């Protein structure tokens, strides 16, 4: 690995750790020439996963977009960034385990709802209100009733 600072090829690995549930490796390196330290990440490349939207459009799966949606639902709740990252990784793994290159957006939405239900009920309701596009208070109350039933 070439040094980011002096561009020397003389570097050594000081520490290696698995991250993202063992799907990536974080390496702490030091340059033998300038003695500066830097971090590199090693991750295997998976095939492209496409999301099929309700209107038939296709777009590449985005971990960042999934994280942003979860983060918004969990705003001002006691849900850590680590928990959000874990949820994103679990949902992505679930989708990739289907061995299909195209995944309906509805499937992703339901997976998010299930994870939020297990994690934080308020975040679940926040996400559901946007995802299910409640048109009136009656639809919202039906979702709350369903939440209470599932909880028991």
Summarised one tens digit per residue, pLDDT across range 21-33 is 787 899 999 999 9
If asked whether residues 59 and 91 sit together in one domain, one would say yes
pLDDT in tens, 78-112: 999 999 999 999 999 999 999 889 999 999 999 99
Query: Containing domain of residue 76, as a range?
Result: 50-151
Q: Within its chain, how far is the Cα of 100 from the centroid?
A: 18
If asked whether residues 73 and 33 sit together in one domain, one would say no
Buried-exposed string 38-64: b where 16+ CB fall within 10 A, e elsewhere: eeeeeeeeeeebebbeeeeeeeebeee
CA proximity to 31, closest of 7, 61, 54, 52: 7
The reply to whether the predicted model has a pTM over 0.75 is: no
Tell me whether residue 3 is in a domain. Answer: no
Does residue 122 contact residue 77 with C-beta atoms inside 8 Å? Answer: yes
Does residue 140 contact residue 134 with C-beta atoms inside 8 Å? Answer: yes
């Amino acid at each position: 690995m070439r040094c980011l600072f002096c561009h020397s090829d003389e570097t050594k690995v000081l520490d290696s750790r698995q991250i993202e549930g063992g799907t990536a490796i974080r390496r702490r390196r030091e340059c033998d020439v300038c003695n500066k330290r830097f971090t590199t990440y090693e991750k295997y490349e998976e095939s492209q996963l496409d999301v099929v939207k309700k209107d038939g459009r296709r777009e590449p799966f985005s971990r960042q977009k999934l994280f942003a949606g979860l983060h918004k639902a969990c705003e001002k709740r006691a849900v850590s960034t680590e928990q959000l990252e874990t949820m994103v990784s679990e949902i992505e793994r679930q989708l990739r385990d289907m061995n299909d290159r195209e995944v309906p957006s509805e499937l992703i939405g339901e997976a998010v709802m299930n994870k939020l239900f297990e994690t934080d009920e308020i975040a679940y309701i926040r996400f559901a209100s946007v995802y299910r596009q409640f048109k009136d208070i009656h639809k919202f109350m039906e979702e709350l009733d369903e939440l209470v039933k599932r909880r028991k």
